[in-house]
C-alpha cells in the first residue's frame, strides 16, 4: 500500500512527549528535527500508511491545538459570530386588501396633491 502525505507539525520542546506517546501508541512512523529559526521550535514529520490513522491523527492534533505546517488555521476556523436564532414572529394584524380598495378614490383621474 502506498504511503500517504507526510505532514509536519511545529512544536515547542515541552510538547514533544505528547505527540511521541501518541505516535508510539498508534504505530505511526515519525521523525523529529530542530528548526533553524526559531531555535526553540521542533519539527515533527508524521508518515501515515492509511486514511484511518491520518484521520485519527488529525483529530488528535486538533484536540491538542497543534497546527500542521503550511495550513492557514484562520482560513479553516469557523466564524466567531453566533448563529442566527430564528425569532418567533408575532402575528401582527395584516392589512386587509379589501379595506385598502375601499379607501381608494373611485375615479381613475389623476389627483394632484394639494400644498395647503
**What would the pLDDT profile of 95-107 be if each residue is shown by its tens digit?**
666 665 566 656 6
What pLDDT, on a 0 to 100 scale, did the predictor assign at position 16? 92
Specify whether the CB–CB gap between 7 and 43 falls below 8 A: no
**What would the pLDDT profile of 71-90 be if each residue is shown by its tens digit?**
665 565 665 555 556 555 55
Asked, for residue 18, whether it belongs to a domain, the answer is yes
What pLDDT, on a 0 to 100 scale, did the predictor assign at position 89? 57
Asked, for residue 88, whether it belongs to a domain, the answer is no
Q: State the CATH number of the domain containing residue 49.
A: 3.30.70
Count of domains for the chain = 1
**What would the pLDDT profile of 18-75 be if each residue is shown by its tens digit?**
999 999 999 999 999 998 888 888 999 999 989 999 999 999 999 999 888 876 655 6
Whole-model pTM above 0.75? Answer: no
Asked, for residue 27, whether it belongs to a domain, the answer is yes
> Cα-atom radius of gyration of the chain, to the nearest Å?
32
What pLDDT, on a 0 to 100 scale, did the predictor assign at position 63? 93
CA distance 29 to 5: 12
| Residue ranges making up the domain that contains 51 | 8-72
Amino acid at each position: 500500500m502506498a504511503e500517504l502525505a507526510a505532514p509536519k507539525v511545529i512544536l515547542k520542546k515541552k510538547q514533544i512527549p505528547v505527540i511521541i506517546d501518541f505516535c508510539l501508541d498508534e504505530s505511526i512512523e515519525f521523525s523529529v528535527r530542530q528548526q533553524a529559526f526559531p531555535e526553540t521550535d521542533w519539527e515533527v514529520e508524521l508518515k501515515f500508511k492509511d486514511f484511518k490513522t491520518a484521520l485519527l491523527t488529525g483529530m488528535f492534533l486538533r484536540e491538542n491545538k497543534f497546527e500542521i505546517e503550511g495550513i492557514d488555521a484562520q482560513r479553516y476556523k469557523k466564524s466567531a459570530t453566533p448563529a442566527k436564532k430564528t425569532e418567533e414572529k408575532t402575528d401582527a394584524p395584516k392589512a386587509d386588501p379589501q379595506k385598502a380598495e375601499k379607501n381608494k378614490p373611485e375615479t381613475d383621474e389623476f389627483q394632484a396633491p394639494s400644498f395647503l
